[in-house]
Amino acid sequence: THQWRGIIEEYRDRLPVTDTTPVVSLREGGTPLVPAQVLSERTGCEVHLKVEGANPTGSFKDRGMTMAITRAKEEGAKAVICASTGNTSASAAAYAVRAGMVCAVLVPQGKIALGKMGQALVHGARILQVEGNFDDCLTLARGLSDNYPVALVNSVNPVRIEGQKTAAFEIVDMLGEAPDIHVLPVGNAGNITAYWKGYTEYARDGVAGRTPRMWGFQASGSAPLVRGEVVKDPSTIATAIRIGNPASWDFALAARDESGGFIDEVTDREILRAYRLLAAQEGVFVEPASAASVAGLLKAAEQGKVDPGQTIVCTVTGNGLKDPDWAVAGAPQPVTVPVDAAAAAERLGLA
């Protein structure tokens, strides 16, 4: 009777819904804010991880999708469509099932993690693998929703941003104040836009006494906001953020500038190092793209940009189980033993 009710019920007065809105929810949100011991030691700050992989489909996308599918249902839509690097499609597929809608997804061929493809498949989505990148998929999805009876549920749909801003509310509600710094991975730039909206709303209404500086990190091979120009052929092992032309470009720069923050890049090597650190030293298994926030924080600390004593939140956006290839690759292979205690003890170094 006391379980978290999902972001629409928990933050109803701050979301665009009415008493008669047919809420479609999987009880998303209410995710853990986990103190990060090793990162706190390394930076001399109080670092927390907002673990968004704990959402129903394993990523932060569920916050926006409960709103987008709820709105689509309210408007009588029978079908929804999205372009995706994997997580949006997994989320859209699941929420479409709850709403009794058809879900179509466009993904870049060969560039989405297997777990995410499995989710879209098992939820019964109609999947097209497009011979192009995410940006091409988004162009196609926009065109289809303009010309056919199908609602677009990408973050260019403003209600997605409304849902995702609730993560900032949860952080302030938990800490009692906004952090000094909020760190995020940036791909299509919807999430940094959403957090900034949430933080500024809480500050405007006096729920928080301040707003954080927003620090965004892109993968080096897919860093249009850092370069200041579209990246035609984006590349990175962090497939979730392999995006060359972010839809929320201007909003991301506004979040950066209004908050006094910055958007920088991290290499794939730095991403994987942070990915392993999170799993091996904090006990938090995330997907590679999610580790870009932590990689960025560590890079900034090494550059002397992090004054000690601050409160810092890093959002880790997706669950590690979605893309386990990187966990297995490069790790020592498990040893095989017979059903024999002495042999097992010896191999474990206990004997």
CB atoms within 10 A of CB 76: 8
Kindly tell me which residue out of 29, 108, 179, 190 binds ligand F0G, with binding defined by CB under 6 A. 190
Residue with structure tokens 């729920």?
Answer: 207
Three-state SS at 83? strand
Pattern 244-283, binding to ligand F0G, x per CB under 6 A? ----------------------------------------
* Secondary structure (3-state) at 214: strand
The residue within the footprint of ligand F0G, chosen from 151, 289, 298, 313 (CB under 6 A), is 289
| Interface pick for ligand F0G out of 185, 224, 261, 296 (rule CB under 6 A) | 185
CB of 193 to ligand F0G, least distance (A): 7
Q: Looking at 225, 265, 317, 326, which residue binds ligand F0G (CB under 6 A)?
A: 317
* Residue 75, token pair as written in the block: 């408007």
Q: Environment class of residue 350 by beta-carbon count within 10 Å: exposed (0-12), middle (13-18) or buried (19+)?
A: exposed
Residue 70 as a binder of ligand F0G (CB under 6 A): the answer is no
Give the interface segment with ligand F0G, choosing from 25-33, 79-87, 120-128, 277-285 (CB under 6 A).
Answer: 79-87
Tell me the closest approach of the beta carbon of residue 302 to ligand F0G, in angstroms. 22
Nearer Cβ to ligand F0G, position 191 or 211? 191
Contacts of 298 (CB under 8 A, 6+ apart): 39, 42, 270, 273, 274, 277
Q: 249-259 vs 190-204: helix axis angle to the nearest 10?
A: 40
Beta bridge partners of 286: 319
* Least separation in angstroms between CB 317 and ligand F0G: 3
Residue 317 is labelled as binding a ligand:
yes
In sign, the C-alpha dihedral spanning 61, 217, 283, 113 is positive
Indicate left, alpha or beta for 118 from its phi (over 0: left) and psi (-120 to 50: alpha): alpha
**162 makes contact with ligand F0G (CB under 6 A):** no
Residue 187 contacts ligand F0G per CB under 6 A: yes
Give me the residues that bind ligand F0G (CB under 6 A), please: 59, 61, 84-88, 155, 185-191, 240-241, 287, 289-290, 317-318
